[in-house]
A and B are shown apart, each in its own frame.
Chain A
Amino acid sequence: MSTGDVLQIKNLGHSYGKFKVIEDISLSIGKGEMSALIGPNGAGKTTFYNAISGKFPPTRGKVFLNGNDITGLPSYRVVDKGMCRSFQITNIFNDLSVIENVFSPLIIQQNKHFKLYGNIFNDQQINEKAMQTLEQVGLTDRADQVVANLAYGDKRLVEMAIVLAREPSVVLLDEPTAGMNPEETENMINLIKKLAKNSGTTFFITEHDMKVVFSLAEKIYVLHQGHLLACGNPQEIRANEQVQEAYLGRKVHA
């Protein structure tokens, strides 16, 4: 399946002052792969995500996206290069309608965000693209509702639509099922599976919920105290004693 690596991370490290949050992380993710990053709270998952997605530049190491060095680029440049992310805490435009939420990335993608005239609702191309994206996540019937009025699960879907709108080659999902009830979680897992299958997009997710991780990921990376402890397919990770000791043993009953 894999035709070269889309995301390559080399010796990545980040420190807050003298405290090394993550250290010497190297990994390569192939095109279309579905991988997950797991680790106990405080292992550095979010710091890792922030450092590669442009929230802040990493202290050490390199990040390559589709062969381009994106180390330390600001977030909006990282998105231009083809990587888009979601956040643990839903990050959307609350007072805008669902479709306006999806318009935003599309307007920027088509470089129309400094266009000072014309109504976006009359832009056929962007409207079609926005509706397609909403169809992918199943929100077409709520297109003109104000996002603030939606149920929590639907708000997460709006964020998913925002992330997918620009058809990024790599999608980072930071705990996509956080705070969801079992039914919503189930739906989200199926949605991610469907998207990965249909679009060939590379997904890289972090997740607390082991059930989610093992039902989604083809490859799992385990982060422990800022270091990569192990990586492998779900069976290998389940069988890995170090991992069990560090993490799984306390969370999952084999």
Chain B
Amino acid sequence: MIVLKIKYHTLILTGILVTLLFLSPLVIPVYWVILLSEILIMGLMAVSFNLLLGYAGLLSFGQGAFFGLGAYTAALMLQAGYENLFLIFLAGILVAMLAALIVGFFSVRLDEIFFAMITLAFGMMFFSIAHNWRDVTGGSDGLPVFNLPNLQLFGLDLTFYSPISMYYLIFTTVLIALFLLWLVVHSPFGLILKATRENKQRVSFVGGNVRKLRIVAFTISGAFTGLAGVLFCLFNNMATPEFMHWSFSTKPIIMAIIGGTGSFFGPLFGAGIFFVLEQIIIRYTENWMFFLGIILVPVVLFFPQGVFGTLQNRFFKQRSK
């Protein structure tokens, strides 16, 4: 009976969502295709971030560093003339992963505000390097990317100069990444990670090495955040130090909280809501951050499970409360 608890509505909804995302560039204006690309990239960043907040109970304030490392790795490799996109993806992921392993090693012994502060401190260290090491990073101007290599796949020669083809590159990559993250979240590791969120002492007293579990989670999160950074560099033709600034690290936090940290797809929806609201509000006023604040307050006060989380609980009550 427990085995049958596979949630069919989740499967069906995911199928519909993927189909819509796949078909949408055929019907919506190019401007919105570009926006949708950005939503998917930031959505991947937010879902990776939520592996820490939602599943491990760790609030990282330094995710921008890994995003930036992915972006800079891609930009540097493209400037150096590397043509193999797979290699660029792989390098971006590996660099971010390695950095996350090191940052995680020093950070995960801490909890709550202390964890948030140490990750913020590490993030700002990376920001300073990116901002001040002009010879390599281009300083505050960032690193522009002028040429996007083609991708040879199944005998096809794909280019990514049109927003639509770029969208499909992003769509496919994000889809694969989200699937992998989904596997992780539902794996035995995912369950133990949730257990450390609930009670890390108990995990330790049934034989689990909490520190090691958290380092693995932090490293996975960093790797996927780095992948999002690579994508953003390709999409944006640019890597800038702003990615590593703490204010950029708050974006996945806000997205996860708007969408809901308790569900896997919550942060992705949060990213969607974030950008769509920005687009709508910015038509009327420049002070979009003010209105973001106005929206965030009631969400935190009245929808502690986020917009998506609340809807999900309302319509698909999974567990008796």
Partner of A146, one of B1, B203, B213, B319: B319
Kindly supply a per-residue 1/0 record for chain A positions 48-88, scoring 1 wherever the CB is within 8 Å of any chain B CB and 0 otherwise: 00000110000000000000000000111001100011010
Minimum CB–CB distance for B281 against chain A, Å: 35
Q: Contact: A162 with B188, CB < 8 Å?
A: no
Q: Contact: B206 with A108, CB < 8 Å?
A: yes
Asked if B9 is at the interface (CB within 8 A of a chain A CB), the reply is: no
Question: B3's closest neighbor in chain A, by CB?
Answer: A121
Asked if B26 is at the interface (CB within 8 A of a chain A CB), the reply is: no
Residues of A within 8 A of B197 (CB): 95
Q: How far is the CA of A73 from the CA of B319 in the complex (A)?
A: 39
Q: Contact: B2 with A99, CB < 8 Å?
A: yes
Q: How far is the CA of A118 from the CA of B187 in the complex (A)?
A: 5
Partner of B195, one of A80, A96, A122: A96
Asked if B129 is at the interface (CB within 8 A of a chain A CB), the reply is: no
Q: Contact: B2 with A80, CB < 8 Å?
A: no
Q: Contact: A95 with B189, CB < 8 Å?
A: no
Kindly supply a per-residue 1/0 record for chain B positions 209-242, scoring 1 wherever the CB is within 8 Å of any chain A CB and 0 otherwise: 1100100100010000000000000000000000
Question: B183's closest neighbor in chain A, by CB?
Answer: A117
Q: Contact: A79 with B188, CB < 8 Å?
A: no
User: How many A-B pairs with Cβ below 8 Å?
Assistant: 114
Q: Contact: A145 with B207, CB < 8 Å?
A: no
Residues of B within 8 A of A166 (CB): 206-207
The bracket for how many chain B residues form the interface is 20 to 34
Asked if A120 is at the interface (CB within 8 A of a chain B CB), the reply is: yes
Q: Given A116-B189, A143-B2, are A162 and B202 also a contact pair (CB < 8 Å)?
A: yes
**Contacts of B1-55 to chain A: CB distance below 8 A:** 1-3, 5
Minimum CB–CB distance for A159 against chain B, Å: 8
Q: Contact: B205 with A85, CB < 8 Å?
A: yes
Question: B209's closest neighbor in chain A, by CB?
Answer: A76
Minimum CB–CB distance for A252 against chain B, Å: 32
Residues of B within 8 A of A15 (CB): none
**Contacts of B160-188 to chain A: CB distance below 8 A:** 183-184, 186-188
Q: Contact: B184 with A93, CB < 8 Å?
A: no
Q: Contact: B187 with A116, CB < 8 Å?
A: yes
Q: How far is the CA of A121 from the CA of B191 in the complex (A)?
A: 11
Residues of B within 8 A of A34 (CB): none
Kindly supply a per-residue 1/0 record for chain A positions 118-162, scoring 1 wherever the CB is within 8 Å of any chain B CB and 0 otherwise: 111111000100000000000000011110010000000000001
Question: B207's closest neighbor in chain A, by CB?
Answer: A79
Asked if A220 is at the interface (CB within 8 A of a chain B CB), the reply is: no
Q: How far is the CA of A95 from the CA of B193 in the complex (A)?
A: 12
Asked if A10 is at the interface (CB within 8 A of a chain B CB), the reply is: no
Q: How far is the CA of A107 from the CA of B206 in the complex (A)?
A: 10
Q: Contact: A108 with B202, CB < 8 Å?
A: no
Asked if A251 is at the interface (CB within 8 A of a chain B CB), the reply is: no
Q: How far is the CA of A109 from the CA of B192 in the complex (A)?
A: 12
Q: Contact: A91 with B202, CB < 8 Å?
A: yes
Asked if B194 is at the interface (CB within 8 A of a chain A CB), the reply is: yes
Asked if A216 is at the interface (CB within 8 A of a chain B CB), the reply is: no
Question: A100's closest neighbor in chain B, by CB?
Answer: B191
Residues of A within 8 A of B204 (CB): 74-76
Question: B319's closest neighbor in chain A, by CB?
Answer: A146
Minimum CB–CB distance for A154 against chain B, Å: 15
Partner of B202, one of A80, A93, A121, A143: A93
Q: Contact: A107 with B199, CB < 8 Å?
A: no
Partner of B321, one of A84, A119, A146: A146
Kindly supply a per-residue 1/0 record for chain A positions 143-187, scoring 1 wherever the CB is within 8 Å of any chain B CB and 0 otherwise: 111100100000000000010011000000000000000000000
Asked if A105 is at the interface (CB within 8 A of a chain B CB), the reply is: yes
Q: Contact: B216 with A96, CB < 8 Å?
A: no
Partner of B199, one of A91, A115, A121: A91
Residues of A within 8 A of B195 (CB): 93, 96, 100, 104
The 7 listed contacts between A and B (C-beta, < 8 Å) are: A54-B205, A93-B195, A108-B203, A108-B206, A113-B192, A122-B3, A166-B207
Q: Give A contacts to B, CB under 8 Å.
A: 53-54, 74-76, 79-80, 84-85, 87, 91-97, 99-100, 103-105, 107-109, 112-123, 127, 143-146, 149, 162, 165-166
